[in-house]
Amino acid sequence: MDKPIASVSRTRQILNSRGLRARKNYGQNFLTDVSVVARAAEASHCQGAVIEIGPGIGSLTEQLAARSRHVTAYEVDERLIPVLAEELAEYDNIEVILEDFLECDLNSKTEELLKEYGTVSVCANLPYYVTTPILFRLFEGPQEIEWITVMVQKEMADRFSAAPGSPEYSALSAECAYLYEVKKLFTVPPGAFSPAPKVDSAVIQFHRRKNMRAEEGLFELIRACFQQRRKTLYNNLKEYLESGEKARRLLEKAELAEDVRAQSLAPEVFAQLYELGKGMEL
């Protein structure tokens, strides 16, 4: 029996026999640690259908296919399409799509998969150069994608999962925490990849809260509240609302002190501010 694709020897054989080199501009760092790949797949709630972004040579795809009813994998590098077809030939539950994930029609694909398989989750070792746009595409995408489990740079994982009051807490963390319960599952050293990235990585998981939508107006307000991190909430709001008077009234309604800073506020507080602001027609 073949070794898993994620093993060092099989990865080497797949790449060398075809004269393939990882492409930096596509953020290609292939996972070569079977236990890391298996752990991520196992944690991903992938029983129904699972969407993978960037299957590479198939290390995670293989582990997902063994655990789910169906895998849909989006890959931009056309060189890898025949490799995936050959290396994963024994699985009949994988669809590889040659397309930039940022361009795909995520809503209709999710709808199609839901009808057929009941649940849709996402699991991926993300290309680091497009981590934020890919995650925001998912956050703004269908709510039915309940679980997202992804490998990202550790520093990004820290920012996404930061709690109010901690130095890493930002507009990004507040937006994320509003939509998801966010958990950092485990960290992964550079040696688990080939080629090795310069930084540590981490697997992070997002579990969608019920009936929470990525509202453009709310997210705009959150970003405005963090606009100048050293300024008070009042000062940031004053600029955003273009009026000190409006900012003061809004804070009063929300029963917040003028010297409070966005850094210390839970996502629900921003949501409350947003609702109060709508009511006051600011």
Give contact residues for ligand SAM (rule: CB under 6 A). 26-31, 53-56, 59-60, 74-77, 100-102, 125, 127, 130
Range 7-20 burial, b when 16+ CB lie within 10 A, else e: beebbeebbeeeee
**Residue 173 or 201 with smaller CB distance to ligand SAM:** 201
Q: For ligand SAM, which is the closer residue by CB, 75 or 175?
A: 75
Residue 49 Cβ vs ligand SAM, minimum distance, rounded to whole Å: 17
* Angle in degrees, CA 173, 210, 53, rounded to 5: 60
The token duo for 110 is 């999710």
Query: Please, what is the angle between helix 154-161 and helix 131-139, to 10°?
Result: 30
C-alpha R_g of the chain: 21
Q: How many CA atoms lie within 13 A of 220 on its CB side?
A: 7
- What secondary structure does DSSP assign to 35-93, as a single string? HHHHHHHHHS--SSEEEEE--TTSHHHHHHHHHSSEEEEEE--TTHHHHHHHHTTT-SS
> Which residue, 104 or 260, has its beta carbon nearer to ligand SAM?
104
Q: Report, in Å, the least distance between residue 102 CB and ligand SAM.
A: 5
Q: In the complex, what is the shortest distance from the CB of residue 180 to ligand SAM, in angstroms, rounded to a whole number?
A: 22
Taking the least distance from each CB to ligand SAM, the nearer of 15 and 260 is: 15
Q: Which residue, judged by CB position, is nearest to ligand SAM in the bound state?
A: 54
Rounded to the nearest 10 degrees, how much is the dihedral formed by the CA atoms of 15, 77, 55, 37?
50
Look-up of token digits 């590889």 = 96
Q: Kindly state the smallest distance separating residue 35's Cβ from ligand SAM, in Å.
A: 13
Sheet of 120-125: strand order equals 94-98, 70-75, 49-53, 120-125, 145-153, 201-208, 180-188
Judged by CB, which is closer to ligand SAM: 36, or 120?
Answer: 36
Q: Determine the longest span between alpha carbons in the chain, in angstroms.
A: 72
Q: DSSP label at 199?
A: S
Q: Specify the residue, 154 or 237, whose C-beta has the smaller distance to ligand SAM.
A: 154
Q: Which is nearer to ligand SAM, 24 or 213 (CB)?
A: 24
- Residue 133 Cβ, how far from ligand SAM at the closest point, in Å? 8
In angstroms, what is the minimal distance from the CB of 198 to ligand SAM?
Answer: 13
